[in-house]
Amino acid sequence: MKRIAVFTSGGDAPGMNAHIRAVERAADKRGLEVIGIIGGYSGMIAGHFEILDRARTANTIDRGGTILKTSRCPDFFEPDGRIMAAEQLRAHGIDGVVACGGDGTFHGAHALWTEHGVRIVGTPGTIDNDLAGTDFTIGYDTAINTAAQAIDKIRDTAESHGRLFFIEVMGRHAGFIALDVGIACGAEYVAVPETLTDIDELYQRIVSQGLDKRTVVIVGEGDELGGALGISQKLEERYGVPSKVSILGHVQRGGSPTVRDRVLASRLGAAAVDALLQGHTDVMIGQMGNDVSYVPLEQTWTERKPIPAYLSELSTLLV
Ligand code: F6P
């Protein structure tokens, strides 16, 4: 193996730059050349490749976003798109690839291996923390800290006015962000996509707090009642209780990564390079406990990552 490539794909996540830097540095130490693919799978199909060196990755470890850009690429769902991508990799003499992203990225990577024999390992880069086979994903720690800071500020105004707030956090189909920040911010209720939200039970919880008191409810965006807006509307329709809605949105995806994310991203970057050199392919390089884990890519989406029971228990015990 002489030349490897790295790219970021799907939603960006804080720590991706630390990860790219680690791949570049570790590969350089192992005598490998590193190519950065610009713009995720779209860039792979179009052949937007650049050489990554120390100078290019210097002073990026603390930066949010991704210097390699990213995309969600519909063309990659088509066999023709994947044929073009594999041809580009071959034409550029790339012997192995590190794909940093979430389950969409890993579906693409798995197809590149099974259909075209491209040696590829995935690394978990998503704020959602929704990938089985790793305790945490790159970007999650930063996202929950960003969300918690914003929620603390909303609590101040909620407290001053004695208002009920529904605050929506990201996480697509997963409630990790919602539960962690709900506990960290002392929320009165947390609604997540993994469990059904009972509007009557929620009303009772709000009443028990006092309708004129500050109440903060954290809602995971994938909650089946339609996110924060949906729950707020249903509560008003059924019980005539007014509320404010705040959707935190993409603010959770940006910003300088936390130390935890920088260290995780760096460790997994170095481990991904070594994994390719050791002959691994079609696996995600994650971290379980203190150890680096190697999980078949397919398992990261066929197996649903469970929310730890203690999170759900604490979020109702401590209200
Ligand atoms: O997967 C990360 C994530 O931020 C999800 O939490 C969210 O549902 C989704 O991406 C939003 O994606 P986009 O910014 O592409 O609309």
Ligand 1 atom closest to the Cα of residue 177 is 6
The reported pLDDT for the residue numbered 212 is 87
Identified catalytic residue from 12, 62, 80, 128: 128
CA 131 / ligand 1 centre spacing (Å) = 14
Instruction: Please check whether residue 165 is in contact with residue 246, taking contact to mean a CB–CB distance below 8 angstroms.
Output: yes
Torsion sign, CA atoms 73, 76, 81, 86: positive
* pLDDT confidence of residue 319: 83
Strand order in the sheet with 189-191: 189-191, 215-220, 164-169, 244-247
Residues of the chain with pLDDT under 70: none
Q: Whose CA is nearest to atom 3 of ligand 1?
A: 11
- Determine whether 128 is an active site residue: yes
What's the whole-model pTM score?
0.97
Give the binding-site residues of ligand 1, using a 6 Å CB cut-off. 11, 72, 102, 126-128, 170-172, 221, 253
Q: Domains of the chain (ranges plus CATH)?
A: 3-139+257-302 (3.40.50.450), 142-253 (3.40.50.460)
Residue type, 260: R
Q: What is the pLDDT of residue 184?
A: 98
pLDDT in tens, 108-165: 999 999 999 999 999 999 999 999 999 999 999 999 999 999 999 999 999 999 999 9
**CA nearest to 197, candidates 148, 238, 154:** 238
Q: How far is CA 227 from the centre of its chain?
A: 19
